[in-house]
Amino acid sequence: MKTLGHATPTSLLRRIGVVLMLVPLFWQPGRAQPSLGGYFKLFYHVNTNAPYPYDRLGSRLQLVLTQTLGRRAALFTAVNFNFEETAVTGLAQESRARGMEIYPVESYIDLYFPFFDLRLGKQFIFWGKADWINPTDNINPWDYQNIAAEIEDYRIPVMAARFTLYLGGWSLEGVLIPRFQPNKIPIEVPKTMGPYPVEKLPAALPENRLANAEWAMKLSSQWLGIDYSISYFQGFHKFPDIRIQPRLNAYHVPEAILWQEQYNPIQIIGGDFVVTQGRWVIKGEGAYFRTRDRQGRNVFLENPFIQYILGFDYRFSDDLSLTLQCSQLRRLKYDPDRERLMWRQLGNPAPRIPEPLESSLSTRLVYQILPYTSLQLIGVMNAKHRDLFILPILYHELADGLNVYGGVTLFRGPEDSPFGQNQKYSRAFLEIKYSF
Amino acid sequence: MKIRSLWLTVLVGLWLTGMPQPAAQGKSGREIMEAVLHKTTWKDLQADVTLVLQNARGEKRVRKIKMYSRKRTEDESDMLMRFLSPPDVRNTAFLIIEHLDRDDERYLYLPALRRIKRIASSGKGGNFMSSDFTYYDIGRPKLNDWTYRRLEDQTLDGRECYTIESLPATPQISKDTGYNKIIRWIRKDLLVTVQSLYFDRGDREWKRLTVRRVENISGVWFQTDLLMTDLQTGHRSELIFENIRVNQNIPANFFSVRFLQRIR
């Protein structure tokens, strides 16, 4: 394991990324013309909770360059020029720098062959047929600190090689991700545990070597009109396990508690399906997460679990559609009483112990209010604590390519509930975007 | 912008109407409509489509689409559409695989989400892409859904036309389409509809379709410039087809999710 502070991307990956970004600028294939597009937007995100009055104010120019190279290849590069007038303040992880930042969102080359396609570079790969909650979607990490209207803000692209093989009615997709990236999660470390102060150690990430490369496979097909797939992912859990141990003095007496986030290996076997019937879309998705603590004996490691979702879309009309999904997460080989007891023995009198079974309901409503004005409402509610995440977004198209939209990311619930503990990250946002 | 479905038979419905059949001169309304819906000869085609929406205040929205279609069987077609503009929906793509014995398969690629979604039908009475065309208008009508009455022949823009009144065969057809009656003006020489008047369920004049251009491409007559006007709101929609190419031997696997998210 290597600490977060020392983990750096390999120079090889960096070089590949830079080359992919620059190739379209110099490529002169003759017939094919590069296409330059993108957007410019102004954004204002305000935190709805004192003492954090606002967290983002700025502008962004995204340039998107696409270039077809004959019939067998294409290049795609999207680069953000992001200017933040205001940095995130006061939060657990102050990740966003103030000022100008230039970074590639995606940059890849596509190669097309008669029976397979290959995509190399920094990219998004989203799997799963359910909406919003996808147990089989484990390749791109999340940025939970930055959930907003655009997916590129809250999902993190990965440098990967991805192939898709097409054989009759089957397709086999394979992905190789050389370097692990964790989710960005706001984790607050307690100042004390029992009588002891808590010292946070740098997070332990997998060592940056080929043996730790993540990979995944997905086999897809159709049967009687039902699209389905099965998938396998081998890599590292993007949520950390928290390792806690006492620091002993020279007399072997505890003097502090050491707190460390560790990212451990995981294998995920999943599957999904979707079928339509008239105005209905029925879909399901599930996965078994085989964590490092396979027998559930280590209190510091997450137990294996399964997560599954069943839901539907219903289209009332062109102007109104509704998605409703039920999901459950079931922890296996899990004894909450034993976990609670062990935490207490470590000096934490009131540990947050997850439930053996978590159920939730999620919904998405899309309503075209007026010809150029629409509302999208995403909501997730956990059954146990009735804690909520709600994301309503109102869009208005001012002119072709010019849109204004605003919304709220709202977390509500008891303080010890999954969404309730994120209440301080609730915020409203307003953006004006011009695409060209 | 919403991406709407049911384009599959757009080319065989509104603006593709077969070869001229002068023998229809003495026929009934139903026989004329049968001739109008006569099967066409193309196997596959591609076209550039422009949709212009204009409200009563004159404000315009323009959508440009690249469209590909092929007949998979006599009665089943595939269609792939890729949006070229406006820029915020560029590269959004839509695939429809039509089936006779079960629901069509419809897939939507949303580049902003980097996902392909399978979507449901939205019904034939809904508007296509916020336009004044409904899915029914742009689809291929089913002959038996309507009863036909031949009205007195008329001359339109100097062309002799049959005038056919269509009434829904069942209340459900009226409910599904939103129409209580349709009157069509069909050019006698080409058997192409050049004007239609649509009545709402209260039997009030609702919309007027004006075909502004008809072209013969590779032996097939296409309505290539259509204007639909909502007579009640003043909103209007133009549907313009350009660069139509037929029988280019588009490979069958082009109409698959594989090609939905390709850049080219």
Q: Who has greater pLDDT, A190 or B85?
A: B85
Contacts of A370 (CB under 8 A, 6+ apart): none
- pLDDT value, residue B62: 94
Asked if B130 reaches chain A (Cβ–Cβ under 8 Å), the answer is: yes
Q: Is residue A303 part of a domain?
A: no
pLDDT band at A298 (very low <50, low <70, confident <90, very high): confident
Name which of B4, B66, B104, B115 to mutate to probe chain A: the one with the most chain A Cβ atoms within 10 A of its Cβ: B115
Asked if B252 reaches chain A (Cβ–Cβ under 8 Å), the answer is: no
Continuous segment of H or E residues that includes residue A308: strand A305-317
pLDDT band at A26 (very low <50, low <70, confident <90, very high): very low
- Which residues on A lie below 8 Å from B99 (Cβ)? 225
Check pLDDT > 60 for residue A96: no
Q: Is residue B85 part of a domain?
A: yes
CB–CB of B126 and A318 under 8 A?
yes
- pLDDT value, residue B138: 75
- pLDDT value, residue B125: 65
Check pLDDT > 50 for residue A108: yes
| Closest-CA residue of chain A to B117 | A129
Q: Is residue A393 part of a domain?
A: yes
- Which residues on B lie below 8 Å from A164 (Cβ)? 258
Name which of A123, A276, A316 to mutate to probe chain B: the one with the most chain B Cβ atoms within 10 A of its Cβ: A276
Span of A22-26, A226-230, A281-285, A380-384 with lowest mean pLDDT: A22-26
- pLDDT value, residue A84: 84
Asked if B178 reaches chain A (Cβ–Cβ under 8 Å), the answer is: no
Asked if B249 reaches chain A (Cβ–Cβ under 8 Å), the answer is: no
- pLDDT value, residue A172: 98
| Closest chain A C-alpha to B132 CA, distance in angstroms | 11
Least CB-CB distance to B114: which of A68, A124, A129? A124
Condensed to tens digits (0 to 9), the pLDDT of residues A354-403 reads 889 999 999 999 999 988 899 999 999 999 889 999 999 999 999 999 99
Check pLDDT > 60 for residue A155: yes
3-state per-residue secondary structure call for chain B: CCCCCCCCCHHHHCCECCCCCHHHHHCCHHHHHHHHCCCCCCCEEEEEEEEEEECCCCCEEEEEEEEEEEECCCCCEEEEEEEEECHHHCCCEEEEECCCCCCCEEEEEECCCCEEEECCCCCCCCECCCCCCEHHHHCCCCHHHEEEEEEEEEEECCEEEEEEEEEECCHHHHHHHCCCEEEEEEECCCCEEEEEEEECCCCCEEEEEEEEEEEEECCEEEEEEEEEEECCCCCEEEEEEEEEEECCCCCHHHCCHHHHCCCC
The last residue of a domain, from among A70, A87, A112: A112
CB–CB of A313 and B88 under 8 A?
no
| Percentage of residues of chain A with pLDDT beyond 90 | 58
Q: Is residue B5 part of a domain?
A: no
Mean pLDDT of the region A240-256: 89
Instruction: Give CA–CA dist A169/B108, Å, rounded.
Output: 19
Check pLDDT > 80 for residue A50: no
Q: Is residue B248 part of a domain?
A: yes
Q: Which residues pair with A2 in a beta bridge?
A: A205
Give the domain CATH number at B254. 2.50.20.10
- State chain B's mean pLDDT as an integer: 85
Least CB-CB distance to B113: which of A151, A318, A368? A151
Kindly report the number of other CB atoms within 10 A of residue A178's CB atom: 20
pLDDT band at A421 (very low <50, low <70, confident <90, very high): confident
The last residue of a domain, from among A112, A139, A166: A112
Condensed to tens digits (0 to 9), the pLDDT of residues B218-233 reads 888 889 999 999 999 9
- pLDDT value, residue A52: 58
- pLDDT value, residue B9: 42
Residue B123, domain extent: 10-260
- Which residues on B lie below 8 Å from A107 (Cβ)? none
- pLDDT value, residue A45: 85
- Which residues on A lie below 8 Å from B119 (Cβ)? 276, 281, 313, 315
Interface confidence, given as ipTM, is 0.85
Check pLDDT > 50 for residue A95: no
Instruction: Give CA–CA dist A283/A310, Å, rounded.
Output: 6
Span of A12-16, A222-226, A287-291, A324-328 with lowest mean pLDDT: A12-16
- Which residues on B lie below 8 Å from A313 (Cβ)? 119-120
CB–CB of A166 and B258 under 8 A?
yes
Q: Who has greater pLDDT, A16 or B92?
A: B92
- Which residues on B lie below 8 Å from A112 (Cβ)? 262
Name which of B83, B88, B102, B124 to mutate to probe chain A: the one with the most chain A Cβ atoms within 10 A of its Cβ: B88
Residue A412, domain extent: 371-436
Q: Is residue B3 part of a domain?
A: no
Mean pLDDT of the region B148-166: 95
Q: Who has greater pLDDT, A287 or A31?
A: A287
Mean pLDDT of the region A218-232: 96
Name which of A31, A126, A318, A322 to mutate to probe chain B: the one with the most chain B Cβ atoms within 10 A of its Cβ: A318
Check pLDDT > 50 for residue B182: yes
- pLDDT value, residue A31: 53
Q: Which residues of A touch B (CB under 8 A)?
A: 37, 39, 66, 68, 71, 74, 76, 110, 112, 117, 124, 126, 129, 150-151, 164, 166, 171, 225, 227, 274, 276-281, 313-315, 317-319, 368, 371-372, 374, 397, 399-401, 403, 433, 435-436
For chains A and B, count residue pairs whose Cβ atoms are closer than 8 Å.
100
pLDDT band at A186 (very low <50, low <70, confident <90, very high): confident
- Which residues on B lie below 8 Å from A173 (Cβ)? none
Asked if B175 reaches chain A (Cβ–Cβ under 8 Å), the answer is: no
Q: Is residue B210 part of a domain?
A: yes
Asked if B143 reaches chain A (Cβ–Cβ under 8 Å), the answer is: no
Q: Which of A61-65, A147-151, A340-344 has the highest mean pLDDT?
A: A61-65
Cα angle B181-B185-B186, degrees, rounded to a multiple of 5: 125
Q: Is residue A273 part of a domain?
A: no
Least CB-CB distance to B118: which of A39, A278, A281? A281
Span of A4-8, A91-95, A413-417, B7-11 with lowest mean pLDDT: A4-8
Check pLDDT > 80 for residue B14: no
Instruction: Give the total number of structural domains in chain B.
Output: 1
Check pLDDT > 70 for residue A283: yes
Q: Is residue B129 part of a domain?
A: yes
Check pLDDT > 80 for residue A79: yes
- pTM comes to 0.83
Check pLDDT > 60 for residue A5: no
CB–CB of B114 and A151 under 8 A?
yes
| Percentage of residues of chain B with pLDDT beyond 90 | 54
The last residue of a domain, from among A89, A112, A135: A112
Q: Is residue B131 part of a domain?
A: yes
Kindly report the number of other CB atoms within 10 A of residue A163's CB atom: 16
Instruction: Give the total number of structural domains in chain A.
Output: 2
| Percentage of residues of chain B with pLDDT beyond 70 | 85
Check pLDDT > 50 for residue A3: no
Instruction: Give CA–CA dist A96/A85, Å, rounded.
Output: 11
Mean pLDDT of the region B176-185: 93
CB–CB of B121 and A171 under 8 A?
no
Q: Who has greater pLDDT, B43 or A90?
A: B43
Closest alpha carbon to B211 in B230, B180, B187? B187
- Which residues on A lie below 8 Å from B127 (Cβ)? 318
Span of A137-151, A164-178, B110-124 with lowest mean pLDDT: B110-124
Check pLDDT > 70 for residue B87: yes
- pLDDT value, residue A23: 54
Condensed to tens digits (0 to 9), the pLDDT of residues A340-350 reads 888 777 777 77
Asked if B84 reaches chain A (Cβ–Cβ under 8 Å), the answer is: no
- Which residues on A lie below 8 Å from B121 (Cβ)? 276, 278-279, 315
- Which residues on A lie below 8 Å from B130 (Cβ)? 368, 371-372
- pLDDT value, residue A332: 95
Q: Is residue B1 part of a domain?
A: no
| Closest chain A C-alpha to B84 CA, distance in angstroms | 11
Asked if B261 reaches chain A (Cβ–Cβ under 8 Å), the answer is: no
- pLDDT value, residue A4: 37
Q: Is residue A415 part of a domain?
A: yes
Check pLDDT > 70 for residue A2: no
- Which residues on A lie below 8 Å from B258 (Cβ)? 117, 164, 166, 171
Check pLDDT > 80 for residue A149: no
> Tokens 């110099």 correspond to what residue?
A26
Q: Which amino acid is at B259?
A: F
pLDDT band at B37 (very low <50, low <70, confident <90, very high): confident
